[in-house]
Structures are given as structure tokens and as C-alpha cells.
């Protein structure tokens, strides 16, 4: 069988061929330069096919029921006519060790549905690298007609900040809770949320969930106004019984309408594109430096001298930069920051 051409990939993706879409994502995740080159050409073409999508980040502490929530929310979205893609950010997963979405049985019904596409998180050495590829995967999924992208993340801090730079709307799931105000969820993550939902509001936890809802809503008053002008709301739901799930849908739709009409929605997407340009630039610039043969040859020795105090960090840095830039005729002068 002939290898697919760029045009084969593009045709397959825009005609919603899941197999081709999956293969294109695999190319994106590949570290081989020829795969990367091909993937980038496909990506460029896909940028012109983006749908009128909404990208939703979903986070919460382990045990809050993220996958049950995503299954219920995704099926509900499909029932309302959406095409749903589920991606994940989980830099801690490694090849062979599986990832937070590796086990598709976690979302048994959704993963079988013809209008859903579930893709486990690619393993990666850096959170920035994983998040960048997830961002590119979003564009491919959108070109394939998926108009609701759910990005799941483990609730541990850094990955939420990365997800925030990928999505339009950020949903934080909470447990019916304990008096401790924010359940160990970092304040910064609560501040990023547009929609908060106390999950597992069923059975004998329903009352507690209501009380938690009020407590969180009060706590939110202490936060400053968001750049979007949107006032975050706390709802209760049960992903198991389905109670409250429709209200969450409505609130997210309200968020979309609100931010689209005040211009924030587009402004945020443009700002995210800008952010990723600089993030990618600086990551690859550093990679070029640390992968340079001369730098690799001398870095450890210079580091040892700096640590021993026989060389200043400034002079050590200048020597390494000179080695890196030596190929240039014009030479390199240390520049001010």
C-alpha cells in the first residue's frame, strides 16, 4: 500500500474518516522529522477547515468522577446534534504505561458512538510539548467536523494552566464537600474556572452537595472580576443519574453566547495563538541550544566550574553561547535582558 500523501490526509480528515484522523494525529506525535514535516503540512491545510467549535477544559481532583462526567456530558451533547472529541493532557503518562484516557472502557458508551472521537494523551517529556500537540490535535479534530472538543486533565496544577491556554471555557468538577474551603484545589485553578460543578450530587450526598454549592458560590465572590466579564457559577450535578447535567449544558451555552457577543471568545483564541507561537519559539530555541554538539561537549564541564565557584555563571553562560553561535561569521555579543 502506498503511503498517504498530504492530500490523502486532508481529504480523509475533511470527510471525517476517523482512521485517517488517527493516523494524522500519530504523525503529529511522532518525533521523526519527516513525520513532523508531513504533519505540519496537513495541519496548515486543516486550519482553513475549522468549524464553529467550542473547546471545553474539564478538570477536578482524582476521584471527582471526570470520566463519568465526560461520558454523560458527551452523550448529551451528541443527542443535541454535536460531534464530540475527547482529548487529554497528562504529561505524567509514559509510552507503555497507559494514560488517563488509555483505557477506553472508562467511557464505554461514548467511545462506541459514531459521533464521538476519543484520543488518549500522547506521552511526552514536557508539559509544553504535550499541550502543543494537543492544541494541534484540536485543529485536526475540528477540520474533521468535531464541533465540541473536551480536553480532560488531571487536577494537579501545572496541567490546568496548560489546558487553560487551549480552551474557550474551563469547567472545574468538585466533590460534595467537607468544610475545608477549597478541598485542596489550588486557588489559582478555582480562579481559572468559568463553570464549577459539584458532582455526585445524588443519594444521601445531595444535601451536602447543595451546601457545598452555596459555600463555593460565596467563596467566588472574593475573587476579582475575570477579563471575560463572565461571572462564574457553581451548579450541582450527578453524572451517574444525569441530574443537573442539562443545566451545565445551558450554562456553558450561556457562557459561549456571552463571550462571543462581547468579543472575548475570539480575543482569547487570538491571544492563545499568540501565546503558542512564543511558547513554541522559545522551546525550540532552547532545544536547538541544548542539542548542539559543542554545547553538549562543554556544558557539564562549565557547569562544574560554576558550581565550584571558579567561574561566574555569567561568564560560563557567555562561553557556552559563544560556542553555540561560533558558526556565525558575525560573532555573538552577550545581549542585555
Cβ(155)–Cβ(125) under 8 Å?
Answer: no
Residue 158 CB neighbours (<10 A): 14
Identified binder of its own copies from the candidate list 12, 128, 145, 232, rule CB under 8 A: 128
Least separation in angstroms between residue 165's CB and its own copies is: 11
Residue 37 CB neighbours (<10 A): 11
Q: Is 36 in the site for its own copies (CB under 8 A)?
A: yes
Least separation in angstroms between residue 273's CB and its own copies is: 5
Residue 292: strand, helix, or coil: coil
Tell me the sheet residues that pair with 94.
Answer: 98
Nearer to its own copies, 2 or 270 (CB): 270
Q: Is 155 in the site for its own copies (CB under 8 A)?
A: no
Cβ(6)–Cβ(45) under 8 Å?
Answer: yes
User: What is the CB-side half-sphere exposure of residue 75 using CA atoms within 13 A?
Assistant: 16
End-to-end CA gap in the chain: 53
> Which 39-98 positions form the footprint of its own copies (CB under 8 A)?
40, 43-44, 47-48, 50
Quickly list DSSP for 32-55: -HHHHHHHHHHHHHHHTT--S-EE
Q: Is 274 in the site for its own copies (CB under 8 A)?
A: yes
Measure the CA–CA gap between 46 and 139, rounded to whole angstroms: 7
H/E element, 58: strand 54-60
- Choose the binding region for its own copies from 69-77, 97-105, 251-259, 325-333 (rule: CB under 8 A): 325-333
Identified binder of its own copies from the candidate list 66, 119, 132, 200, rule CB under 8 A: 132
Q: Is 282 in the site for its own copies (CB under 8 A)?
A: yes
Least separation in angstroms between residue 131's CB and its own copies is: 10
Residues at the interface with its own copies (CB under 8 A): 31, 33, 36, 40, 43-44, 47-48, 50, 124-126, 128-129, 132, 135-136, 139, 269-270, 273-274, 276-277, 279-289, 291, 302-303, 306-318, 320-321, 324-325, 327-330, 332-337
Amino acid at each position: 500500500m502506498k503511503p498517504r500523501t498530504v492530500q490523502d490526509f486532508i481529504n480523509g480528515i475533511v470527510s471525517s474518516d476517523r482512521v485517517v484522523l488517527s493516523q494524522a494525529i500519530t504523525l503529529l506525535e511522532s518525533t521523526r522529522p519527516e513525520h513532523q514535516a508531513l504533519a505540519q503540512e496537513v495541519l496548515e491545510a486543516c486550519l482553513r477547515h475549522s468549524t464553529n467549535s467550542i473547546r471545553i477544559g474539564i478538570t477536578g481532583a482524582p476521584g471527582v468522577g471526570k470520566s463519568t462526567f465526560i461520558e454523560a456530558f458527551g452523550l448529551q451533547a451528541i443527542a443535541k446534534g454535536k460531534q464530540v472529541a475527547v482529548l487529554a493532557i497528562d504529561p505524567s503518562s509514559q509510552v507503555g504505561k497507559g494514560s488517563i484516557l488509555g483505557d477506553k472502557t472508562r467511557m464505554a458508551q461514548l467511545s462506541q458512538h459514531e459521533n464521538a472521537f476519543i484520543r488518549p494523551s500522547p506521552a511526552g517529556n514536557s508539559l509544553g510539548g504535550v499541550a502543543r500537540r494537543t492544541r494541534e490535535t484540536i485543529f485536526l479534530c475540528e477540520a474533521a467536523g468535531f464541533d465540541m472538543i473536551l480536553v480532560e486533565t488531571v487536577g494537579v496544577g501545572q496541567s490546568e494552566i496548560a489546558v487553560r491556554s487551549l480552551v474557550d471555557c474551563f469547567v472545574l468538577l468538585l466533590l460534595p464537600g467537607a468544610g475545608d474551603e477549597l478541598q485542596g484545589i489550588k486557588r489559582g485553578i478555582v480562579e481559572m474556572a468559568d463553570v464549577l460543578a459539584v458532582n455526585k450530587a445524588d443519594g444521601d450526598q445531595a444535601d451536602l452537595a447543595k451546601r457545598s454549592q452555596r459555600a463555593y458560590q460565596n467563596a467566588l465572590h472574593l475573587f476579582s472580576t475575570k477579563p471575560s466579564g463572565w461571572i462564574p457559577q457553581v451548579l450541582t450535578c450527578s453524572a451517574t443519574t444525569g441530574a443537573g447535567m442539562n443545566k451545565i449544558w445551558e450554562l456553558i451555552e450561556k457562557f459561549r453566547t456571552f463571550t462571543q457577543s462581547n468579543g472575548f471568545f475570539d480575543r482569547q483564541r487570538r491571544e492563545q495563538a499568540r501565546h503558542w507561537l512564543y511558547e513554541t519559539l522559545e522551546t525550540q530555541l532552547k532545544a536547538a541550544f541544548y542539542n548542539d554538539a559543542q554545547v553538549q561537549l562543554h556544558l557539564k564541564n562549565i557547569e562544574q566550574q560554576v558550581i565550584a565557584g571558579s567561574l561566574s555563571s555569567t561568564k560560563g553562560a557567555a562561553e557556552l553561547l559563544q560556542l553555540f553561535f561560533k558558526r556565525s561569521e558575525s560573532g555573538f555579543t552577550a545581549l542585555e535582558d
